[in-house]
Amino acid sequence: MSSKEKKELSETDVCRLFITPAITTAGWDPMKQIRQEVTLTPGPIIVRGNVSSRNKKKKKFADYVLYWEPGVPVAVVEAKDNNHTVSHGIQQALGYAEILEVPSAFSSNGDAFASHNKVPATGEDIETEFALEAFPPPQDLWKRYKSFRGIEDQAEELVVQPYYEAASGGKEPRYYQVEAINRTVEAVASGQRRVLLVMATGTGKTYTTFQIIWRLWKAGKVKRILFLADRNILVDQTLVNDFKPFGSVMTKIKNRKIDPSYEIYLGLYQAITGPDEEDKIFRNVSREFFDMIVIDECHRGSAADDSAWREILDYFSGAVQVGLTATPKETEYVSNITYFGEPVYTYSLKQGIEDGFLAPYKVVRIDIDKDIHGWTPPPGMKDDLGQEIEQREYNQKDMDRILVLNQRTKLVANRVMQYLRATDPYSKTIIFCQDIDHAERMRVAIVNAAGQLALDNPKYVMRITGDSVEGKAELDNFIDPESKFPVIATTSELLTTGVDAKTCKLIVLDKTISSMTIFKQIIGRGTRIDEENNKWFFTIMDFKKATALFRDPDFDGEPVVIYEPGDDDDPVPPDPPPEEGDDDDDDDDGGGEGAIKIRVSNVPAIIIAERIEYIGPDGTLITESYKDFTRKQIQSEYASLDQFLYRWNGAKKKQAIIEELEEYGIVLENLAAEIGKEYGDFDLICHIAYGQPPLTRQERAYKVKKRDYFTKYGEQARAVLTALLDKYADEGVGTLESAKVLRLDPFKAMGTPVEIINNIFGGKDKFDNAIQELEQELFKEEKTA
């Protein structure tokens, strides 16, 4: 093939004719060791008001991933067409190698290979180029991988133990799950006895755990395994879902008995231990009975010296012990890192949102006057029972803990329903309350605020707490995406952990939270994405300033927007930039479950204050108007009006510029809502960023019609262009540039899109030129001083 012919080939052809044959000739098995177009991340979710979509520009997929064994990636190859240099794709390949944590990255344009080796031998270059026929064989790259990961020869057999693969092609582990599984297996293979794995809620810890156990169990490294959790629903979900392939060798510990005839044991720690010696049934088996113990949510006390979990771990001290947690933070009292050691792998909420595996969130922060300013009862004031109220100031922490203001509860319920009605009244919602009493009062308040919605279905809102048999019976329906009801769950603690409510779109915080861990667990109820049910992001409605107290940007990232509406404001947050349990203090100050509370019905409560915080260019939250934020971002890309006009007028598709601005967090629908929906994108940008007086879309269209611009076209073409102008006036430039517009009225009467383009305009090129000329006429701009 000549050089000229080669340069005319597509990237796909270069792969098929040159790169794939070179790799297979080197000894790589095309069925087991070579995978092409491997999606690593789907791309982050862009949130626009109550609408969202994926930013597919930021999707990451590797042209080739090479595996030593399935599930053990060792190298990445990036392909380019022959118009690029050999090493053009090496930086891209290195980015994917970083994600997969492999040492070998390659790039090729079909002429040769460029290579980057992260573990070069003494005297070896890091980057080299070599001929197509010299691609390294599997054994060479496996040896390099072992060196990079610190895998000794004696650990190799365990490290390459196969994953479980469903016969019908079940779900495949995501890149971070593969890395978590492999890092854990490698640690155990190297003799590590305590292993900590940190993965944000919603990232599939249980599935990851299953694969770890499966591989170690199948390899014969461990025979009997105990999976411990502290919520019954966690055990039951695990039993029937992710752990199901274990089948008959698996059992759930119950009736305070450990049956020695099984190999995989799932249990509540409460079922095998307790305060009294007879409760400690784990002592009924030998210390060597379990070879491996996995502690789910190990932040909840397992590392504390006086913990019941710690007692179990100490008894089976010879077993491999794996701790799973979503919250790696150290505290003054408990340190899972001190017990387990540094995590072998961490996958944070922030990373999950950036990758697009986890849902971003918005915050509606609401302040109530009695919370912020406090409330002191007038002298001699009595509560609803006729008892005189103690003379002191009651503050936010006292609300629903010591002092119950019924008007405040109604206010919260009305605000929640106002938000749901403005978005979707059937969005799954969890309201976290101070205690069971508060959860019941909130249920009543929601019923009254919901009105007809609650009349139409009595299960529209349910209290789901540990003491409510009826409520707990509805838990499965609440978390089932196929079940419409209940829509709203009021709770205190039951739904803080482990419940996979993947369609939950609204989390309401009306609970004083003093633990970072429990805060993260609560937030974790909303982080799952469910594309099938249109769940792309979630909203936190915060009445207790919890989101201000618990910021851990390194692990969690920042919320996409924080909004504090006033009493008369729209409860739906404005459009954001498109990037983006353990013990609590519930029993302090006499405010725990069953405590006597002061109840007052006739004290009014109102919502005060409004503040909007946005993510700034450096990733920190800044307080400013959306107009100020937009102006700064546009001017950072286009320093002057001249620069912007040059770019706008030179763009074949104006929509491309609008999409580029979205990368900066500028959603022009926001500006239209603030400045005027009759203005188009061009005028909004020029007005906000450069102080130009805006024209409406109708005014721009009218100016074009007044000119003699159309005279050079025939009658039919003028009719099409006039209709397109009308479409622009109604809907904006995006419609003008969409090929689909020709399928709509009034164009249907003029012919099919193909007939309009070919017969009226003389072909696609001439039609595209006519659209570009029309846009030039539309956006003729006379600058003002």
Residues sharing a CB contact under 8 Å with residue 402, sequence separation 6 or more, in sequence order: 394, 589, 590, 591, 595, 597, 598
DSSP helix/strand/coil, 476: helix
Q: Is the pLDDT of residue 43 over 90?
A: no
- Is the model's pLDDT at 348 over the cut of 90? no
Q: How many CA atoms lie within 13 A of 488 on its CB side?
A: 29
Phi and psi (nearest 5°) for 427? -70, 130
For residue 623, what are the contacts with CB-CB under 8 A and spacing of at least 6? 611, 612, 613
CB distance 213 to 225 below 8 Å:
yes
| Residue in the structure block whose two tokens are 């092609």 | 169
**For residues 361 and 509, what is the distance between their CA atoms, to the nearest angstrom?**
14
- Helix (H) / strand (E) element for 613: namely strand 612-615
Most confident by average pLDDT, 16-30, 389-403, 603-617:
16-30
Whether residue 563 has pLDDT greater than 50: no
pLDDT for residue 427: 92
Residues in the chain: 785
Query: For the segment 136-147, what is each residue's pLDDT rounded down to a tens digit?
Result: 999 999 999 999
Task: Decide if pLDDT at 560 tops 80.
Answer: no
Residue 457: per-residue pLDDT = 93
Sign of the CA dihedral running 183, 184, 185, 190: positive
pLDDT at 441: 95
Residue 218 has pLDDT above 80, yes or no: yes
pLDDT over 60 (residue 611): no
Model confidence pLDDT, tens digit, residues 276-294: 778 888 888 999 999 999 9
Cis peptide upstream of residue 746 (ω within 30 degrees of 0): yes
Say what the pLDDT of residue 1 is.
79
How does pLDDT run across 679-728, given as a tens digit for each residue? 888 999 999 888 888 889 999 888 888 887 778 888 898 898 889 888 88
For residues 726 and 731, give the distance between their C-alpha atoms in angstroms, rounded to a whole number: 9
| Segment 485-494 mean pLDDT | 88
Tokens 């961490």 — which residue? 346
Q: Are 71 and 163 in contact (CB under 8 A)?
A: yes
Q: What ranges make up the beta strands (E) of 387-440?
A: 403-405, 428-432
> Pairing relation of β-strands 45-48 and 194-199?
unpaired
What is the C-alpha to C-alpha distance for residues 338 and 310, in angstroms, rounded to an integer? 13
CA dihedral for 543, 545, 550, 553, sign (positive or negative): positive
The answer for 676, left when phi > 0, alpha when psi is -120 to 50, beta otherwise, is: left
**pLDDT band for position 553 (cuts 50, 70, 90):** low
Q: Say which range, 178-182, 225-229, 305-309, has the weakest mean pLDDT.
A: 305-309
Share of the chain above pLDDT 70, in %: 84
Per residue in 242-251, is it b (16+ CB within 10 Å) or e — as a string? bbeebeeebb
Exposed/middle/buried for residue 62 (C-beta within 10 Å: 0-12, 13-18, 19+): buried
Continuous segment of H or E residues that includes residue 25:
helix 20-25
The reported pLDDT for the residue numbered 402 is: 92
Residue type for position 485: F
Comparing 114-118, 435-439, 446-450, 662-666, which segment has the lowest mean pLDDT? Answer: 662-666
**Average pLDDT of span 303-326:** 78
Amino acid at the residue 561: V
Structure tokens at 215: 């591989």
Residue 78 and residue 15: Cα distance in Å, rounded?
Answer: 10
| Predicted local confidence at residue 313, as pLDDT | 87
Alpha-carbon span 59 to 50, nearest angstrom: 22
pLDDT-wise least confident of 165-169, 539-543, 575-579? 575-579
**Could you tell me how far CA 128 lies from the centroid of its own chain?**
38
Residue 378 sits at φ, ψ, to 5 deg, of -60, 150
317-329 confidence digits (pLDDT tens): 999 999 888 765 5
Confidence class of residue 499 from pLDDT cuts 50, 70 and 90?
A: low
> Is pLDDT of 579 > 50?
no
Which stretches within 551-640 are classed as H helix? 553-556, 626-637
How far apart (Å, rounded) are the C-alpha atoms in residues 611 and 565?
7
pLDDT number for residue 588: 36
Per-residue pLDDT band for 423 (boundaries 50, 70, 90) equals confident
**Cβ neighbours of residue 780 closer than 8 Å, sequence gap 6 or more:** none
- Is the pLDDT reported for residue 578 higher than 50? no
Give the mean pLDDT of the chain. Answer: 83
Q: What whole-number percentage of the chain has pLDDT above 90?
A: 41
- pLDDT for 663 beyond 80: no
Distance between CA atoms of residues 46 and 660, nearest Å: 13
Q: Which helix (H) or strand (E) is 38 found in, with range?
A: strand 34-41
The per-residue pLDDT for 432 is 92
Residue 737's pLDDT is what?
Answer: 77
Q: What is the pLDDT of residue 444?
A: 97
Measure Cα distances from 548 to 513, 559, 672, 673 in Å: 11, 11, 30, 28
Mean pLDDT throughout 130-141?
A: 96
Helix, coil or strand: residue 475: helix
Please say if the pLDDT value at position 417 is more than 50: yes
In this predicted structure, what is the pLDDT of residue 302? 44
pTM here is 0.72
Confidence check: pLDDT of 492 > 60: yes
Q: Which two tokens stand for residue 431?
A: 């309201």
Question: Residue 85 gets which letter from DSSP?
Answer: -
